[in-house]
Structure 1
Amino acid sequence: MHPRDKDVPPAIRRMPRPRGLRGSAAPARRWLARTLLLAAGLLAAQAAWLPAKAALAQVLLATSWQQSLADGKAHRPWPWADTHAVARLSSPRLGVSQVVLAGDSGRSLAFGPGWAESSAAPGAAGTVVISGHRDTHFRWLKDLRDGDVVQLESRDGPRRYQVAGTRVADARSERIAASGRDQLLLVTCWPFEATAPRGPLRYLVTLRPLPRASSR
């Protein structure tokens, strides 16, 4: 039998895709990818904003602190600031130098370490309490070791302190308060790698004053 005499099935025709759906998946995927990239960029910018703001603030604070040392007066680091520089804190071994602000409220701590005004003034005898955020200005506290020397410069001149110990305190059961003892307390939140802010635990570094250098 000739092949042409066989029954030949009709050709199978593909149903046309509705015009409204043709190519719609690709633009949707591109839109979703761009949205995710934008969201990731915003999150990254937000994460970088706090350290950048803290670093810029220290530059402005350093200028105001030098002005205070020159004339003995308080100088605001920027016109709308509600605080001023009161001291400079430094760690020679770690290469840290930071200007300390008056007050330890959230507004002050956003720009630098803050001195608790209920404690002894920097340069005076008694317990000086200085606080800072664990993820910006006071992150270096975790690298302090027993015996390290830290200097606190006030308008009366520098005082050198030596690390005597570190510990973790629970703010729910212990109040960190100044005492009559001559010492420097550096305070930050703990643990350093915590993801949740404002936990109840505090990391305390206790430093004892070293003898002042002889003026002779």
Structure 2
Amino acid sequence: MFKPKVLISLLLIAAATVGFSNAAWITLKAELAQVLIKKAWSETLQSGAEVKPWQWADTWPVGRIMHPDSNTDLYILEGAQGNALAFGPGRHINAGELGSETSVIGGHKDTHFAFLKKVNIGDALQLQTRDGVWHPYRISAKRVVDTHKQALNVQLNQKRLYLVTCYPFHTIAQDNHLRLVVELKPS
């Protein structure tokens, strides 16, 4: 028969093992998803069709952005709902076509859009669209918007790109209504 201290120690070790295993599984799935998204993007560039990264996915890559100053290279997924944002930044479906109209891309501040914390006005960013063309942009503005008090102020009918994430960085809040809006203009 185990002594209570030994039993508690074994239970704690078992719980820690399960916790670390779950974290490792989530990390492994996230890395595999990026490989599959990259492959789907390559197929999209070759065929021009919407290619899902896995059979049951409800999103697909619609673009790619690169920010050389931060060594960031991201695939943009269709839709900015939670299930797409878990795997990458997402294009708001009510926004315009990437590269030709005003487009809005959302992403999580603690994963894919963490690089936005350090971007500066004047920084270059490249956007690749489904036709394989790279579109150069420059950051023209950064602002924090309280969505309870005002709209994001997206300029329609102009060729603009907006990157939007929650703000401030490195905080956890369930009812966060602050957004960092990074506006880019073609360069």
TM range (shorter): 0.7 to 0.9
CA distance in 1, matches of 2:20, 2:148: 33
Q: SS at the partner of 2:69?
A: coil
Kept in 2: contact 1:85–1:99 (CA 8 A): yes
Matched, 1:78 2:47: no
Determine the structure 1 residue equivalent to 2:182: 205
Out of 77, 94, 103, which is 1:128 matched to?
103
Matched, 1:94 2:70: yes
Determine the structure 2 residue equivalent to 1:173: 149
RMSD (CA atoms)? 2.1
Offset at 1:177?
A: 6.0
Q: Which runs of 4+ in 1 moved over 6 A?
A: none
Cα-to-partner distance string for 1:99-118 (whole Å, 9 max, x where unaligned): 11111011111111100011
Kept in 2: contact 1:164–1:208 (CA 8 A): yes
Unaligned stretches of 5+ in structure 2? none
Matched, 1:149 2:124: yes
Identical residues among aligned pairs (%): 37
List aligned pairs for 1:183-198, cutoff 5 A.
183-197=160-174
Out of 103, 112, 119, which is 2:88 matched to?
112
Name the TM-score, length of structure 1 as normaliser.
0.77
Offset at 1:40?
A: 3.7
Amino acid at match of 1:181: Q
Cα-to-partner distance string for 1:18-70 (whole Å, 9 max, x where unaligned): xxxxxx8x721122223233334444455555554333222111111111111
Name the TM-score, length of structure 2 as normaliser.
0.88
Determine the structure 2 residue equivalent to 1:10: none
Amino acid at match of 1:148: D
